């Protein structure tokens, strides 16, 4: 039974009920009664489908609103953190990005892993290039503090007494993450206090437009 038949039968049912109300009673032939039952069932199913569709639409709207809130939150976070030319991490702050200003624009830094290596610490991180150009010849400046064995002097964990520069051999592609590894000599992961990172970019690659 198609939609047109349903509408016709519905109209017929309404007309018969109106006549029956005027006459005081309704007597349907068995075939018409069966058809009316089918129409009622179709109407009930259509109403149920409509309610489900409304619920699905409301759920989708909430998902879109949540995504918008997340995007706005990230934008606010980038705006706040992007004011600094350095990113600071505790060694345990993995999978959390911070924004760093450079002379070319904004970059992201994210710690992937901190592991012991020989007599030092190996740090795996990712650098996110938010600019519209590929960049190379990049220097990563790393400073770190060390925890003191003297519990009476806890402030030493926040004093960057060690510094080292690392050259990033891989080109930082635009709108992409680039993995890098650095090794901090003479300090075990459990002795690291804070880590500070700065970026210096010395080469830019842009596509030449063909006129």
Does the pLDDT of residue 22 top 50, yes or no?
no
Q: What is the pTM of this model?
A: 0.59
Q: What is the mean pLDDT of residues 35-53?
A: 77
Supply the pLDDT for residue 7: 55
Does the pLDDT of residue 147 top 90, yes or no?
no
**% of the chain residues with pLDDT over 90:** 40
Residue 103 is classified by DSSP as S
Sequence-ordered list of residues with C-beta below 8 angstroms from that of 50, at least 6 positions apart, any chain:
none
For the stretch 60-110, pLDDT in tens is 877 877 776 665 555 545 555 556 889 999 999 998 888 899 988 899 999
Averaged pLDDT score across all residues of the chain:
79
Residue 30 tokens, joined? 């068995």
Residue tagged 């960057």 (tokens): 160
DSSP 140-203: EEEEEEE--S-TT-GGGGG---EEEEEEE-S-B-TTEEEEEEEEEET--GGGEEEEEEEEEEEE
Around 91, how many Cα atoms within 13 Å sit in the side-chain half-sphere? Answer: 22
Sequence-ordered list of residues with C-beta below 8 angstroms from that of 86, at least 6 positions apart, any chain:
100, 196, 197, 198
Question: Residue 43 CB: number of other CB atoms within 10 A?
Answer: 14
Tell which CATH classification among 2.60.40.1620, 3.40.50.720, 1.25.40.20, 2.102.10.10 matches the domain 87-205.
Answer: 2.60.40.1620
Supply the pLDDT for residue 129: 95
d(CA 79, CA 20): 72
- C-beta of residue 141 within 8 angstroms of C-beta of residue 100: no
Which pLDDT band, with edges at 50, 70 and 90, does 20 fall under? low
For the stretch 160-204, pLDDT in tens is 889 999 999 899 999 999 999 999 999 999 999 899 999 999 889
């Amino acid at each position: 039974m198609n939609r047109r038949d349903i509408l016709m039968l519905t109209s017929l049912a309404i007309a018969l009920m109106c006549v029956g109300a005027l006459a005081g009673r309704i007597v349907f032939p068995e075939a018409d009664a069966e058809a009316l039952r089918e129409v009622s069932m179709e109407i009930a199913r259509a109403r149920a489908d409509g309610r489900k569709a409304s619920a699905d639409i409301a759920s989708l709207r909430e998902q879109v609103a949540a995504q918008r809130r997340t995007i706005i939150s990230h934008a606010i976070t980038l705006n706040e953190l992007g004011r600094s030319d350095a990113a600071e991490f505790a060694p345990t702050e993995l999978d959390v990005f911070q924004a760093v200003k450079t002379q070319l624009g904004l970059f992201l830094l994210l710690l992937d892993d901190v592991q012991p290596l020989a007599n030092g610490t190996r740090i795996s991180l990712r650098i996110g290039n938010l600019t519209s150009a590929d960049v190379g010849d990049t220097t990563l400046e790393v400073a770190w503090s060390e925890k003191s064995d003297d519990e009476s002097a806890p402030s030493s964990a926040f004093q960057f007494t060690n510094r080292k520069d690392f050259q990033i051999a891989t080109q930082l592609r635009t709108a992409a993450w680039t993995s890098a590894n650095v090794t901090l000599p003479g300090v075990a992961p459990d002795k690291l206090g804070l880590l500070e990172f700065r970026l210096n970019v010395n080469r830019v690659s842009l596509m030449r437009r063909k006129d």
